[in-house]
Amino acid sequence: MGRILLCLCCLAASLGAHAGEVLVAVAANFTAPMKEIAASFEGATGHRARLAFGSTGKLYAQIRNGAPFEVLLAADSETPAQLEALGLTVAGTRSSYAIGRLALWSPDPARVDAAGRVLADGSIRRLALANPQLAPYGRAAEQTLRALGLWQSLRARLVLAESISQSYQFIASGNVPLGFVALSQIVRGGALQSGSAWRVPDDLFGPLRQDLVLLRPGEHSPAAAALLRFMASPDAHRVLRDYGYEVPR
């Protein structure tokens, strides 16, 4: 019995010795699902993912200025491609991990109709969205309003957030009655968690294809390589679908 326990202890020590840590820059829209994925990743591999969340634009600036992130999970495909062109990524590691969805949401169950007509009915005094200059979901919201012919009429009423997470916080706190959020922030298992919402049709904005890439500081990190593999696993895909993302083919 003592010999078995000794073997188990040696095995645990061996696994611990090979476990590593990876520093991951994560787009704000992916906050909740990535926390779940990181927990599963640690359980499956022993590696730990340290997560830093922010708008894709801000994360891009930090990486260009030397932030030691090893992996980037962006909210678009353009930002990883730009970093690749600058030589700040490891060649051949960029790929799409999720396709996002946009929603108009309010905590008030009666505020947002299922067709989004509230945007044009003249009742809106303040409307939250992520800054289009910083956040891909903010650009998608601007594209939606332009496609509906409402950008100019609503522009003076917009409350710009630094990220899609802050846009959600503005609305959830009641400081702004409604606004644009990532669908992943308000659904679980395909069901709306609270309030009222309109899922914005995909043809009103450019595709929210979200790419990941291995950054130069993570080039020789086993933990970083393991995370990239795990993001393509059935466990990660299950979380993606639960939060309303589409899994890229």
Interior angle at CA 206, CA 147 and CA 247, nearest 5: 135
Give the pLDDT score at 4.
Answer: 41
- pTM of the full predicted structure? 0.84
| Domains along the chain with CATH numbers | 20-99+208-242 (3.40.190.10), 102-204 (3.40.190.10)
Each residue's pLDDT expressed in tens, for the chain with a length of 249 residues = 444 433 433 434 444 446 899 999 999 999 999 999 999 999 999 999 999 999 999 999 999 999 999 999 999 999 999 999 999 999 999 999 999 999 999 999 999 999 999 999 999 999 999 999 999 999 999 999 999 999 999 999 999 999 999 999 999 999 999 999 999 999 999 899 999 999 999 999 999 999 999 999 999 999 999 999 999 999 999 999 999 999 998
Distance (Å, rounded) from C-alpha 209 to C-alpha 185? 17
